[in-house]
Amino acid sequence: MERTLIIVKPDAVQRGLTGEVIKRFEQRGLKIVAMKFIHITEELAKKHYAVHEGKPFFEGLVSYITSSPVVVMALEGNDAIAAARKTIGATKPVEAEAGSIRGDFGMEIGRNLVHGSDSPENGLLEISNFFTAEEIYSWDRATDAWIQE
């Protein structure tokens, strides 16, 4: 089982798309094992985006992600990273497939609605930035047998 961090970013929250975003991941078959509504601090934003520190767009990323509340989730499933990223769509929304979150609702890379981890290792690291071990719940879902072999 893989886990991925998902952030429903400020633009999605402000546009009232939070429920739609969550719905798409659940309908895909990914299981929510942690979720909360938070306002990301500048310190946490810099930690989350540390890989981009020194790049021209770093300060803009930090400013954007801290501009409004977000929903953070840890999702679990077989190939959760690939499934989540396909559900999210290409980073540049105008290149994202129709039917993906970004393809259906996004226009610009700077307002691309959702973050998803890019590897299992980063998924675990990013989840640990936002959730304690006590906030993550492994649970049996009645529909799991109908989603996974």
**89 burial class (0-12, 13-18, 19+ CB within 10 angstroms)?**
buried
Give, as one character, the DSSP assignment of residue 111: B
Cα torsion at 70, 24, 112, 18 (round to 10°)? -30
Q: How far is the C-alpha of 32 from the C-alpha of 139, rounded, in Å?
A: 9
Catalytic entry in 39, 48, 52, 115: 115
The verdict on whether 39 is a catalytic residue reads: no
- Alpha-carbon distances of 48 from 31, 43, 75, 107, 137, rounded to whole Å: 23, 9, 17, 24, 22
Locate 14 and state its tokens. 């402000």
> Active-site residue numbers?
115
